[in-house]
Amino acid sequence: MKTLDSAVRALRGTLVWFHDDPFVNDDAMRVVEDGIVAMAGGRIVASGPASEVLPALPPGVRPMSYGRSLILPGFVDAHIHYVQAQIVGSCGAQLLDWLDRYTFNAEQAFAEVLHSEAIARFFCDELLRHGTTTAVTFCAVYPQSVEAVFGEAERRNMRLIAGKVLMDRNAPAALTDTAQKGYDDSKTLLEKWHGRGRLLYAITPRFAGSSSPEQLEAAGALWREHPDAYLHSHLAENLAEVAWVRQLFPDALDYVDVYERYGLLGPRALYAHGIHLSERELGRLAATGTAIAHCPTSNLFLGSGLFRLHAARKHGIHVALGTDIGAGTSYSLLKTMGDAYKVAQLNGQTLTAAQAYYTATLGAARALRLDDRIGALEPGYEADLVVLDVAATPALQLRTRNADGVEDLLFALMILGDDRAVRATYIAGELAHDRDADAQPRRPEVDAARP
Ligand code: GUN
Ligand code: ZN
């Protein structure tokens, strides 16, 4: 290996990433025990066994050693609503009632710039604490809610895909736009933010239930004008929703056909859920290169149903994982993988650790067509990393002491782990979350007040 120059930072630990798809290749995971990843200028410049990378490091560069911890590409949360952070864990409703009862109230607060900015800060902090380095988020209908979250992500140099929600019917008046205003506001935001630094824009019709045919048409027109932008929406999450969409669009063959008629399928189109889909619909998603964000904590919480991940992958559909905060119950992609495993079990199938971590890293990057930039620990990739502590809690410590190899460690982490297992998060080569340094100091006055 030739000697590395410029300002290099190096991390040492067990490196884990994917060079292929473990749904079709049993040997897709690359593991380097006692490895080093070296970074400079926001990118990975070398990765491999310490014995090879160490001699190539410039004199004076000493790797930060993470011991037994695992170093992976940062997690991708492919579907989240930052504007729903305050309603996580709201009891007692399935999708359509839950939207009416909780969501629409919470989103109206984002008309306020200061509120949007405060929640955007909280949101970015939470992503980093959970090892998430790329997120795809819904905003509210208000352009200022988009400005706030892009501004915050830009300050932190995070990769973020976001967009203003389009909604012109079946929602409170304060939350609706019109087909024309939604188009105009989205276009202005897209032209300002798409491709600025690490930020990308998603045209974001909420779902077929809350957009008129004219609005879906306008969304399709805007996407045709900017085909390198994203299209982000919801699809076939709940049986009552599916029945309602059939009534709203009686001429369409099915739910997927509603979106296809308006030109809303294709590469960089990303739909959350996709639980209640026919073979025909799965076939159309695959044929058009449309991706699904599987959101198991949300699907279990709202009682929406069991997504058939293996069936979708067999069709050739790109699938990523989403937390779907606030219907989802955790910001943690580890917990999301754990619930994806349980949903697969209820479908009578197994989700291996390799398949789960692929879906949260390189698989998601492929779904988002960003796999030339994120999702792997190869030279040239953006240096977004997560460091996972295999002994973060007493239960993990006991369980992992005699683990049977790295895949077993990964599995234990996705079943037992959460933010406590995220030891560090790096964004473009910079330390953005350091669990042990950021730990809240004990507050003696509070502790002393306890009986
Ligand atoms: N379908 C339409 N809007 C939403 C939303 O905000 N959350 C979820 N989970 N599903 C939706
Ligand atoms: Zn959602």
320-332: average pLDDT: 98
Q: Which CATH class is domain 9-74+375-434?
A: mainly beta
363-383: average pLDDT: 98
Ligand nearest, relative to CA of residue 165: 1
The verdict on the CB of residue 299 being under 6 Å from ligand 1 is no
The verdict on the CB of residue 298 being under 6 Å from ligand 1 is yes
Q: What is the pLDDT confidence band of residue 444, given thresholds at 50, 70 and 90?
A: very low
Given a cut of 60, whether residue 38 has pLDDT beyond it is yes
The verdict on the CB of residue 164 being under 6 Å from ligand 1 is no
The alpha-helical segments, DSSP class H, found in 176-295 are 179-193, 213-225, 239-248, 255-261, 279-288
pLDDT at 6: 59
Q: What is the pLDDT confidence band of residue 2, given thresholds at 50, 70 and 90?
A: low
221-229: average pLDDT: 98
Query: Beta strand pairing status for 199-205 and 230-235?
Result: parallel
Q: Which helix (H) or strand (E) holds 119?
A: helix 113-129
Given a cut of 60, whether residue 442 has pLDDT beyond it is no
C-beta separation of 96 from 244 below 8 A: yes
pLDDT in tens, 114-164: 999 999 999 999 999 999 999 999 999 999 999 999 999 999 999 999 999
What is the C-alpha separation between 326 and 333, in angstroms, rounded?
14
Query: Beta strand pairing status for 132-138 and 159-163?
Result: parallel
Residue whose CB lies within 8 A of the most ligand 1 atoms, among 101, 169, 176, 207, for a mutation test: 207
Instruction: Pick the residue whose CA is nearest to atom 11 on ligand 1.
Output: 234
Atom index in ligand 1 nearest the CA of residue 241 equals 1
Given a cut of 70, whether residue 213 has pLDDT beyond it is yes
- Give the CA distances from residue 132 to residues 120, 359, 384, in Å, rounded to whole numbers and listed in that order: 15, 13, 9
428 CA → ligand 1 middle, Å: 31
Tokens 């359509």 correspond to: 96
Given a cut of 70, whether residue 368 has pLDDT beyond it is yes
**Distance in angstroms between the alpha carbons of the first and the last residue of the chain:** 61
pLDDT at 431: 98
The two domains 9-74+375-434 and 75-367 share their CATH topology (first three levels equal):
no
Q: What is the pLDDT confidence band of residue 92, given thresholds at 50, 70 and 90?
A: confident
Instruction: Pick the residue whose CA is nearest to atom 9 on ligand 1.
Output: 327
Report the candidate in 207, 411, 417 with the shortest Cα–Cα distance to residue 330: 417
What is the C-alpha separation between 158 and 169, in angstroms, rounded?
33
The verdict on the CB of residue 324 being under 6 Å from ligand 1 is yes
Given a cut of 50, whether residue 87 has pLDDT beyond it is yes
Looking at every residue in the chain, the average pLDDT score rounds to 96
- Give the CA distances from residue 57 to residues 5, 41, 62, in Å, rounded to whole numbers and listed in that order: 8, 15, 8
pLDDT at 300: 98
Q: What are the structural domain ranges in the chain?
A: 9-74+375-434, 75-367
65 CA → ligand 2 middle, Å: 38
Can you read off the two tokens belonging to residue 178?
A: 């019109």
Atom index in ligand 1 nearest the CA of residue 298 equals 9
Topology given in CATH for the domain delimited by 75-367? TIM Barrel (3.20.20)
Ligand nearest, relative to CA of residue 140: 1
DSSP for 408-423, written as a single string: HHHHHHHHH-SGGGEE
Q: What is the pLDDT confidence band of residue 450, given thresholds at 50, 70 and 90?
A: very low
Atom index in ligand 1 nearest the CA of residue 103 equals 6
CB-based neighbours (< 5 A) of ligand 2, an ion: 272, 324
pLDDT at 229: 98
The helix/strand/coil state of 274 is: coil
408 φψ region: left (φ > 0), alpha (ψ -120 to 50), beta (else): alpha
Given a cut of 80, whether residue 96 has pLDDT beyond it is yes
Can you read off the two tokens belonging to residue 121?
A: 């800060």
Atom index in ligand 1 nearest the CA of residue 327 equals 9
State what percent of residues in the chain have pLDDT above 70: 96
pLDDT at 449: 35
pLDDT at 369: 98
pLDDT at 440: 62
What is the C-alpha separation between 254 and 245, in angstroms, rounded?
9
What is the C-alpha separation between 451 and 442, in angstroms, rounded?
16
pLDDT at 4: 72
Tokens 């990739």 correspond to: 381
Q: What is the pLDDT confidence band of residue 428, given thresholds at 50, 70 and 90?
A: very high
The verdict on the CB of residue 45 being under 6 Å from ligand 1 is no
Report the candidate in 340, 334, 279, 349 with the shortest Cα–Cα distance to residue 312: 279
